[in-house]
Amino acid sequence: MEVKVTSSTILTSPISHASDVPLTIFDRFALNLHVAILFAFTPPTSTNTDIISGLSNILVNFPTLTANFSTNSHGRPCLTVGGSDGGVLVVEATVSSKLEDHLPLTPSPDFRLLHPEVNDAKHLLQVQLNRFQCGGLVIGITSHHRVADGQSMGSFIVAWGKMVRGIPVDPLPVYDQKWLKPRDPPLVQFDHLGTEFIPLSPQPNEFKATPVYADPSEITNMLLHYTPEFIMRLKAHTNKLNTEKQTTFETLTGYIWRKVTIARQLDDEEGTMLIVGVNGRRRLQPPVPSEFFGNLVLHAYPKTKARALIEGGVVMAAEIVREAVRATGNDYFRSFIDLAEVYRDSDLVACHEKRGNVLSPNLEVNSWLGLGLDVVDFGGGGKLCGISMTWEHYEGLSILIPSLSPDGDVDVFVSLFEKDAMRFREISHSLD
């Protein structure tokens, strides 16, 4: 793939006076990295000028995306909005090939050319507009996870598209953080130190984290497609043995977990754990508005032994996922909020920062279902024809992505060692 950058510019912050926005406990827990995603559109599309103008205008409603990381007068991490080092990087590029030559958007190392570099990126939001020979467009977006979670970024991208098309942006993002108020007195009911954050003074047996690193060349990415018919068959298989129906997320997540465990050929008694993102907006009571912009996600950690997972089938796997996710409810989120009050000035380090780039025997599953990504529209008359990750060197990551079929298909991104991926492909659509 030949990609030629034709221009690069910085959209400055819409805020004229610099102000500091403290990072919340959820921001500090979020991954300290940029997340990259691609959106492909068939021609005709809106012009680059119109898309960039829409971005500039919508940033008035999403000012934290133009911020930069800093520390406030108390030495605590924060976002500085309106500072001279902020803004959004916008790159324009041309691609010598036709878009159709790259469809479907199956993850490829070449796709990293379609968005700005994420390592040591200066700007928290980066955009690259890639014009293909045929007139097709791929918009590569990278955003820093400590500014916003998946739901927030989905809302932003949908709103950006509305702005380009001249459609009123409604609802607008919400920044009110009254839900972050701790209880009086604060009550930390769960072991967040050792689960979300590394204990401040761990005892020898209290926290063990040995990062595992692998050569990126040993890790491959794949995108699997699951039809509504296949998902219905999975659900029928699980629901007939349960009084309560399993969701698509629970069923498909349990299914992928079990199949990956088989492909990895783990020892029978080896433990395997899922790391599953749980959105706190619907968990907290009273609920936080879905329009809240920022981070409000924790993890659930379903776990079992490899043999039990394999022999229990997808029924057992889905049930373990369900129970762990449901246990991460209002009490857990409130306890986490109170943790911020108890350790207000402490230098908390998220446990996942000690993982390395290999999760095996564990698996992380995130869901992009329901984030609105499949309705992103930048105008011009063309169609959204692809949503994809680019290429990950992180073994054990899986993401559920909405397919663009109106029937409810789901695409599943999976990153595994090549040797495990070969076995996984062979069994990825088997109901056994």
Active site residue 145: yes
| Location of structure tokens 């009123």 | 168
Structure tokens at 431: 């109901």
- Catalytic residue chosen out of the listed positions 145, 192, 299, 352: 145
Q: How many CB atoms lie within 10 A of CB 76?
A: 14
Active site residue 377: yes
Distances from the Cα of 347 to the Cαs of 29, 56, 181, 294, 350, in angstroms? 12, 35, 20, 21, 10
Print burial letters for 98-132: b (CB count within 10 Å at least 16), e (below 16): ebeebeebbbeeebbbbbbebeebebbbbbbbbbb
Residue 367 to residue 299: CA distance in whole angstroms: 12
Residue 138 to residue 127: CA distance in whole angstroms: 10
Pairing label, strands 68-71, 271-279: unpaired
List of residues 6+ apart from 246 with CB closer than 8 A: 235, 238, 239, 254, 318, 319, 322
Per-position DSSP letters for 20-79, written without gaps between them: EEEPPHHHHHS-SSEEEEEEEEPSS---HHHHHHHHHHHTTT-GGGG-EEEE-TTS-EEE
- Catalytic residue chosen out of the listed positions 149, 377, 411, 420: 377
Pairing label, strands 68-71, 77-81: antiparallel
| 155-158, Cβ contacts within 8 angstroms, sequence gap of 24 or more | 155/290, 155/291, 155/293, 155/372, 156/58, 156/62, 156/65, 156/293, 157/39, 157/372, 157/373, 157/376, 158/372, 158/375, 158/376
Closest CA to 20 of 87, 88, 75: 75
Per-position DSSP letters for 271-284, written without gaps between them: EEEEEEEEETTTTS
Which residues are identified as catalytic? 145, 377
